[in-house]
Structure 1
Amino acid sequence: MPASKTLTYPSARHASQLYCGSEDNLARTEKALGVRLVTRDDWVKLDGPAEAVARTEEFFTLLNTGRNQGMAYRTPDFLRLLDLFARDGAALRSLINDPVVIATRRKSIVPKTLGQKLYLQSIQKNPIVFGIGPAGTGKTYLAMAAAISALLKNQVQRIVLTRPAVEAGEALGFLPGDLREKILPYLRPLYDALHDMLEPEDVSTLSEKGLIEIAPLAYMRGRTLANAYIVLDEAQNTTPEQMMMFLTRLGDESRMIVTGDITQIDLPRSKASGLVQAPRILRNIPGIDFHHFTATDVVRHPLVQKIIDAYEQAKTAESGGLSSS
C-alpha cells in the first residue's frame, strides 16, 4: 500500500544537515530504502510503499537524534550510516539510542560506528583494552579522547602516551638534532590528536606540569605508573618482550589502552609482534578485553575502506594460491 509522510525540522539548515545538503545522498537513500524523496526548505517528503516510508522515517529520526547528540555528518558519515541501516537497522538503533559521549575541551566526541561504540564501552568497563584494526578506524583517537576526558574529570592524575620507535637502535642515532628532535617524528600523531581535543595553551601547560607525558616506549622500562591513563600506540611494532614490559607497568588506579594494526608491522622479519601474540596469551584474563575493528569501522574517506577490503581480498587469494600449490 502506498504511503506519504512529510518530516518537518526547525529550519532549512537543520534539515539539510541530516543529508549533508547533497542531492546525491538523497538519491542513494531512495535506492537503498525504496522510497522517493522530495525536500524543500525545512521539510523532507517521503513517498513509496508504507513499509519503506516507515523505515525511511526511522532512518531520518535516528539521524536527527544523532545530530542532537553532537554528531556532525559529512557525506562519508551519511553513506556509512545509510549502509549500516540498510544492512542492520538494529545496529544503527543501538549506536544512536544508547549514546556514549566523551567530552574534551574543544569538542564532544561520539562514536560514528557500532564498532567504535563497543570499543568505548569496553574502555569504560576494563582496566586494559586492546584496540586492534586497520587505519582510519579511530582506535587511537578514541583512546586519546578517553584519556583526556578522564584527566579533565580528575579520574586520573596524569596521561602517559607512548609509541615504539622501530629504529630505536643505530638508525635513530644518525638523525639530526637532540633526543627530543630525534623522537618527535614517531610521536607527532599523538601531539596532533592532543591539539585536536585541547587548546594549544592547555597542551603546553599540562605537559610542563607533567600531567601529560609523551615518550618512546623504551622510557617505560623500570617504571610503575599509578593513577594514570596510559596509551600505547602502534603496538604492532612491539616485540613480545616489550609488550610484557609495558603491560606490567600498570599501577594502582591506572588504565591502559593498547592500539595497533597487525597488517602494518614494521619489525624485522625475524622478530615477532607483541600485538599478534598478546590475544593468544591474555584472552582469558578478566579485566583485559580485545576489541577488533574491521573495514566497516573506517571513518576516513570511503575509498580507504575499499582499499582495505581490496588488500584483504588479495591477501586471502594469495594465501589460497599458496595452500593449493
Structure 2
Amino acid sequence: ETASQARYLEMLGRCELTFGVGPAGTGKTFLAAAYGASLLKRGQVDRLVITRPAVEAGEKLGFLPGDLNEKVDPYLAPIWESLNDILGVDDVRRRREKGEIEAAPIAFMRGRTLSHAFIIVDEAQNTSRMQMKMVLTRLGEGARMVVTGDPSQVDLLNPRDSGLAHALRILKDVEGVGVQQFKSEDVVRHAMVERIVRAYDSDAARSRPFPDLEDDA
C-alpha cells in the first residue's frame, strides 16, 4: 500500500464525495470497490451502485444486443473482477439478484436519488460536464460516492468537454469533498506497466495539445 492509497482509503471513510484520479493500475477503482464491498457486508449501506459512461471505442449501448446487464457488464468488467476477488463469485451473483449490487450506465441514473448507497463512478474522464453534474446530484441521505478516472485517457471527441477535469476544478474546495491524485509511482501492477505509464506521462508533458485542459475552454 502506497502513501497515496492510504490517504485515499482515509478519504473514502471521511468524505461524502471522493475523487480518485490518476493512471491505470494505481488501485483507485479496486480500492473503491473493496471499500464499498466492506460497507455492504457490514450493513452500513444498503447497496453498491456502479456506473460509468459507455463511450469506449465509440460504441453505444442502444446498438448492442441483449438486456441491460448483458450490455453493461463488458464495460464494467474490471469492477466485476475486483468484486469477485473481494466477495467471491457466488456472493456477487446473489447480491446482484437481490439488488444489493447494481450496475448501470450513467444515462440510467437520471431522475434517481441514491440513498444509503455507496456509488462508484468509474472512467469518469469520459463523462460530459452535464453528465457529471447529473450523477453527482444523485446523492441521497446516507450515501457516499467515489469518482475515479484518468484525465489523460479521455475518449470524448473534444477532451475539453470532460466532466472530470471540470468537476475537480470547481469542487476541490467544497466541504465534504476529497481529492486524491495518484502518480505513476503508485502503479501496483507489473513493473513494466509503471515504466509504460512513465513513458507516456513524459511524452504527454512534451506534446500535450491541451496544456490548460482543466481551464475553461
TM-score of the two chains, using structure 1 as the length reference: 0.61
2:83 is matched with which residue?
A: 194
For structure 2, the 5+ residue unaligned runs are 212-217
Residue 116 of structure 2: which of 227, 231, 235 is its match?
Answer: 227
1:30 is matched with which residue?
A: none
2:6 is matched with which residue?
A: 117
Pairing of 1:81-96 with structure 2 (within 5 A) = none
2:42 is matched with which residue?
A: 153
Residue 279 of structure 1: which of 168, 182, 188 is its match?
Answer: 168
Quick one: percent identity of the two aligned structures? 51
Conserved in 1, the CA contact under 8 Å of 2:72 and 2:103?
no
Aligned partner of 1:126: which letter?
A: C
Residue 199 of structure 2: which of 310, 313, 319 is its match?
Answer: 310
Aligned partner of 2:82: which letter?
A: A
Separation of aligned partners in 1, 2:208 and 2:30: 32
Aligned partner of 1:239: which letter?
A: S
Conserved in 2, the CA contact under 8 Å of 1:262 and 1:275?
yes
**Deviations along 1:111-148, whole A, 9 cap, x unmatched?**
x1111011101111111000000000000000000100
Count, aligned residues: 210
Residue 22 of structure 2: which of 133, 139, 145 is its match?
Answer: 133
Conserved in 1, the CA contact under 8 Å of 2:54 and 2:60?
no
* Deviation of 1:192 (Å): 1.1
Of stretches 259-268 and 186-195 in structure 1, the one that deviates more from structure 2 is 186-195
Separation of aligned partners in 2, 1:177 and 1:152: 30
**Deviations along 1:75-129, whole A, 9 cap, x unmatched?**
xxxxxxxxxxxxxxxxxxxxxxxxxxxxxxxxxxxxx111101110111111100
The RMSD of aligned alpha carbons is 2.1
Determine helix, strand or coil for the equivalent of 1:246.
helix
Q: Does 1:143 align with 2:26?
A: no
**Deviations along 1:29-70, whole A, 9 cap, x unmatched?**
xxxxxxxxxxxxxxxxxxxxxxxxxxxxxxxxxxxxxxxxxx
**Deviations along 1:221-278, whole A, 9 cap, x unmatched?**
1000111101100000100100100110000111000000111111112760010111
1:298 is matched with which residue?
A: 187
Q: Does 1:174 align with 2:69?
A: no
1:44 is matched with which residue?
A: none
1:37 is matched with which residue?
A: none
1:251 is matched with which residue?
A: 140
* Deviation of 1:175 (Å): 2.8
Change beyond 3 A, Cα 1:194–1:170:
closer
Aligned partner of 1:262: which letter?
A: P
Conserved in 2, the CA contact under 8 Å of 1:187 and 1:215?
no
Separation of aligned partners in 2, 1:189 and 1:250: 24
2:215 is matched with which residue?
A: none
* Deviation of 1:304 (Å): 1.2
Change beyond 3 A, Cα 1:268–1:197:
same
1:241 is matched with which residue?
A: 130
Determine helix, strand or coil for the equivalent of 2:112.
coil
Separation of aligned partners in 1, 2:58 and 2:197: 31
Conserved in 2, the CA contact under 8 Å of 1:223 and 1:249?
yes
Separation of aligned partners in 1, 2:60 and 2:54: 10
Separation of aligned partners in 1, 2:58 and 2:4: 37
Of stretches 298-307 and 162-171 in structure 1, the one that deviates more from structure 2 is 162-171
